[in-house]
């Protein structure tokens, strides 16, 4: 286990015990990443601010839901952030279909952020993920992005892309298997 994960696990444990300092420290370590993810999903900074606050509040209230064996604290946090941001996106879509178009450009960064942003282990892992994403065909990548950033299902992706459902299903299956293989090392 990396030192970073060890410290994060420790902090999550302290948060469960009601330790506000540990909570502040956990926020300082990951807030920028959470903001980055939420902005990518929502496409706007104003709403993102509220969602980041909700995400960390959920961490504070439900840190005992974190299962150490299942993921890293950061991975768990980012999944909470994604799901909160997608909830917001769906509510917004119900209100206003126009905004959906604005968010339609959401995707993974086309270039890996330069080294020196963030911690070394994270930067290395990000580069690994970038090369894994580059293994995908543009169509496969688009399907994964629509599912990941907009929370669309098979059927919705097929509608959006005007592609046959079977094609979308197999693109997602192949893409996920490629990513899993490339990232399992």
Partner 1 sequence: MTSDHSPRHDDLLPAYALGALDGEELRELQAHVETGCPVCAAELRRLAACVEDLAGAAAVLPEDLAGPVPGTPEVPEMLAGIRQRLLAQVAAEPRAAELRAAELRASPRPATAAAPVPATPAAPAAAAPARFGRRRAPGDPTASTAPAAPAGAAGRWPLLAAAAMLALVAVWGIVRQASLGAEIERLQGERRQLAARADALERRVTQMQAESERLARTLTILAAPKVQSVSLAGMGTTHSAVGRTYIDAAGRQAVFYASNLPALGPDKSYQLWYLDEDDQKTSAGVFDVDARGKAALVIDQPLPLERIQGWVVTVEPRGGRPQPTGPIAMAG
Which residues from 51-80 bind partner 1, rule CB under 8 A? 52-53, 56-57, 60-62, 64, 70-72, 74-76, 78-79
Indicate the SS3 state at residue 35. Answer: helix
Q: How many C-beta atoms lie closer than 10 Å to residue 73's C-beta?
A: 25
- Structure tokens that stand for 177 in this block: 């298997």
CB of residue 94 vs partner 1: minimum separation in angstroms?
17
Select from 29, 152, 163, 166 the one that contacts partner 1 (CB under 8 A): 152
d(CA 143, CA 152): 9
Question: Among 100, 104, 113, 139, which residue sits at the site for partner 1 (rule: CB under 8 A)?
Answer: 113
Q: Give the residue among 95, 61, 108 at the shortest CA–CA distance from 80.
A: 61
Q: What is the CA radius of gyration of the chain?
A: 17
Number of residues that bind partner 1 (CB under 8 A): 79
Binding residue for partner 1 (CB under 8 A) from 68, 155, 164, 166? 155
Among candidates 142, 149, 136, which has minimal Cα distance to 168? 142
Q: Is 120 in the site for partner 1 (CB under 8 A)?
A: no
**Interaction between residue 139 and partner 1 (CB under 8 A):** no
Chain-centroid distance of CA 83 in Å reads 8
Binding segment toward partner 1, per CB under 8 A, in 87-95, 96-104, 171-179: 171-179
User: Considering the rule CB under 8 A, would residue 42 count as an interface residue with partner 1?
Assistant: no
Nearest approach, Cβ of 28 to partner 1 (angstroms)? 7
Residue 161 near partner 1 by CB under 8 A: no
| CB neighbour class for 128 (10 Å; exposed up to 12, middle 13-18, buried from 19) | middle
Distance of CA 26 to the CA centre of its chain: 17
Under the criterion CB under 8 A, does residue 84 sit at the interface with partner 1? Answer: no
Should residue 26 be labelled a site residue for partner 1 when binding is judged by CB under 8 A? no
Exactly one of 12, 89, 136, 157 binds partner 1 (CB under 8 A); that residue is: 157
Stretch of residues binding partner 1 (CB under 8 A), selected from 87-95, 96-104, 123-131? 123-131
Spatial separation of the C-alpha atoms in residues 144 and 107, rounded to whole Å: 9
């Amino acid at each position: 286990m990396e030192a970073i994960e060890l410290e994060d696990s420790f902090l999550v444990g302290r948060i469960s015990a009601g330790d506000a300092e540990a909570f502040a420290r956990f926020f300082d370590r990951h807030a920028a990443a959470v903001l980055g993810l939420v902005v990518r999903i929502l496409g706007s900074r104003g709403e993102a601010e509220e969602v980041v606050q909700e995400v960390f509040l959920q961490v504070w209230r439900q840190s005992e839901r974190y299962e150490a064996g299942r993921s890293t604290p950061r991975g768990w946090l980012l999944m909470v952030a994604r799901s909160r941001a997608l909830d917001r996106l769906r509510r917004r879509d119900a209100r206003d279909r126009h905004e959906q178009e604005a968010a339609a450009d959401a995707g993974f960064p086309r270039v890996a952020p330069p080294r020196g942003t963030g911690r070394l282990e994270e930067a290395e892992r990000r580069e690994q993920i970038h090369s894994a994403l580059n293994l995908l065909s543009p169509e496969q990548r688009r399907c994964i992005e629509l599912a990941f950033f907009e929370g669309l299902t098979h059927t919705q992706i097929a509608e959006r892309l005007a592609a046959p459902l079977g094609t979308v299903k197999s693109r997602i299956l192949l893409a996920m298997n490629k990513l899993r293989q490339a990232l399992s090392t």
